[in-house]
Amino acid sequence: MAKPSIQRVLMSRELARRWLQSRSQAEYRLRIFGSQVRNFPGLLRSLRDDRVRIAGVQTISDLGIQEGFDCVTVWSSNYDALQSLQKWAEEKGMETSGVW
pLDDT of 26 reads 87
| 12 against 65, higher pLDDT | 65
In this prediction, residue 28 carries a pLDDT of 96
Residue 1 binned pLDDT confidence (cut-offs 50, 70, 90): low
Annotated domain spans of the chain: 25-96
42-56 in b/e burial notation, b at 16+ Cβ within 10 A?
A: ebbeebbeeeeebee
Q: Which of 79, 71, 64 lies closest to 40 in space, CA to CA?
A: 71
Q: What's the confidence (pLDDT) of residue 88?
A: 93
36, 93 contact by CB (below 8 A): yes
Distance separating alpha carbons of residues 49 and 68, to the nearest angstrom: 21
pLDDT in tens, 5-21: 777 777 888 888 898 88
Of 57 and 1, more confident = 57
Q: DSSP for 45-88? A: HHHHTTS--BTTB---TT-EEEE-SSEEEEEES-HHHHHHHHHH
pLDDT in tens, 28-50: 999 999 877 678 899 999 999 99
